[in-house]
Amino acid sequence: MNRRPDRHTIRRILLPSGRAIEVVRFYPAQGETGLHVCPSCGSDLVQPVEWAEAPRGFWELLLRCPNCFWTDDGVFDQEQVDALEERLDAGLTEMLADLRRLTQANMSQEIERFAAALNADLILPEDF
Ligand SMILES: [Zn+2]
């Protein structure tokens, strides 16, 4: 994937354990087009909210940007819809990877706390 590091945001998330992690989101390079790019704010997270088959192989989509809440509907050809679907699949893959990293970060914190409690003799057989 061709990503330019010049357009990104970093969101710091504070886990319940107090540990902070950074989630980096990349935005499309200047000039990138497609149904996934918001014409209002430039976010590449535009999603279809409603869709219906239209005549002659076209699709009617209601699109919405979760970043700035821009919304619009229109009729698009199969190629545009296929490209959007590809982006949505890639977005889902990224989201699952983020979730996996978050879960691992949480688990490593729990393991550290558990090990510290064991070392301090705070966990006894009757705890189980
Ligand atoms: Zn937007």
Mean pLDDT per 10-residue section of the chain, whose length is 128 residues: 58 78 70 88 93 92 96 93 93 90 89 90 83
Distance (angstroms) between ligand 1 centre and the Cα of 104 equals 31
127 is a domain residue: no
Spatial distance between the Cα atoms of 33 and 36, rounded to a whole number of angstroms = 8
Spatial distance between the Cα atoms of 33 and 56, rounded to a whole number of angstroms = 24
Q: Which pLDDT does position 6 carry in this prediction?
A: 56
106 is a domain residue: yes
Residues with CB under 5 A from ligand 1 (ion): 38, 40-41, 43, 65, 67-68, 70
Q: How many domains does the chain have?
A: 1
125 is a domain residue: no
Spatial distance between the Cα atoms of 14 and 126, rounded to a whole number of angstroms = 33
84 neighbors 35 (Cβ within 8 angstroms): yes
Q: Which pLDDT does position 17 carry in this prediction?
A: 77
Single pTM value for the model = 0.62
3 is a domain residue: no
Q: What is the dihedral of CA 90, 91, 94, 98, to 10 degrees?
A: -170
Q: Which pLDDT does position 4 carry in this prediction?
A: 46
Determine the structural domain holding residue 30 and report its residue range. Answer: 8-120
